[in-house]
Amino acid sequence: MPTLRPLSLIYNEKSGFHASNKEGVYEQIMTIFTQHDFEIQVFELSVEDNFDDFMQQVLVRHHGDDHGVVVAAGGDGTLNAVASKLKYTDIPMGILPLGTFNYVARVLNIPQDLLQAAEVIATGTPKNVHLGTINDRIYLNNASLGLYPLFIQKREQYNQRLGRHTLNAYTSGLDVLIRDHKELKLSLTVDGQVYPVKTSLVFFGNNKLQLQEMNLNIAECAEEGHVAGIVVAKSDKLSLFRMLFQLIKGDLEHAKDVYSFAADQVVVDSKSKTLTVAVDGEIEELKTPLTLAVAKNALSIMVPVDATSSV
């Protein structure tokens, strides 16, 4: 008999992975993993779980001679949580994309079809990718403060009422601009150079594809392992409406009073002891100063054998 390799499948109960319309797909995914000699254990995340203890049990399972693969089934939040525990280990992460935009999967040429994604997990090759870091947290796609966290919160309210649609991201953005005008007074230290700024939005991206879709020149910088950032310099509502319109068009680079930059390290400071930050779509209060950098080649992800893109 062949030696079975460990596979731990982790999914968020909110992802709907066991929804009635996915039950048949779920069984087929399990069949694919079984046919490739994996010993499967399935773990469901819930708000009651102690994630650190939970993941420690998962990691122990994968510390043998064959590390197998730890599979994250979900959107950005689930992928981020699992990746944060796999960084700097020899255990590769597999992705079953269940999010709205699935930027991490797409930039790595991982199929959006769940059965095809399962085949990549079973037969693909591990690829090392860069992780953005903000204090002791990581971000796979982006970290931001100012209006963007408000966009995220408002979008979730729209999603709960109206369902999860791309249009809600733009509608919630307009709603925030109309109701929740906000300006931050910050100090940004970019590779040692200090810039005092008044801003409504600071955005840091780690995903080349997402930055390319905004038509930002810093996309290549993110791929090369630099901190890629955007600062909106004006906070009046007319300027912000224009900025949102440019964002919707995918042409943020040419919006007035929007400045992009790349660096090895960025420090964001404020008179406030904490700042509200959206980290891969999850809202958190982080202590200031915020230190951003890139952990290069810190995570291994299963990708198609011929994949050439990188985060």
CA distance linking residue 147 with residue 154, whole number of Å: 10
Residue 212 Cα distances to 205, 218, 251, 252, angstroms: 10, 8, 10, 10
Provide DSSP, 228-246: EEEEE---SHHHHHHHHHH
> What one-letter code names the amino acid at 226?
H
Given this chain, do its domains 5-123 and 138-296 carry the same CATH topology? no
Q: What is the pLDDT of residue 157?
A: 47
- pLDDT tens by residue, 172-217: 554 444 455 568 999 999 999 999 999 888 999 999 998 888 778 8
Q: What is the pLDDT of residue 234?
A: 67
pTM: 0.85
Does CATH place domain 5-123 in 3.40.50.10330? yes
Provide DSSP, 82-121: HHHHHTTSS--EEEEE-SSS-HHHHHTT--SSHHHHHHHH
Name the pairing type of β-strands 258-263 and 125-134: unpaired
Residues of the chain with pLDDT under 70: 1, 14-23, 47-48, 148-182, 234-255, 307-311
Q: What is the pLDDT of residue 269?
A: 97
Give me the residue label for tokens 């930059």.
261
Tokens for 24, please give them. 């048949």
Q: What is the pLDDT of residue 18?
A: 61
Q: Enter the CATH code of domain 138-296.
A: 2.60.200.40
CA distance linking residue 108 with residue 76, whole number of Å: 14
What are the boundaries of each domain within the chain? 5-123, 138-296
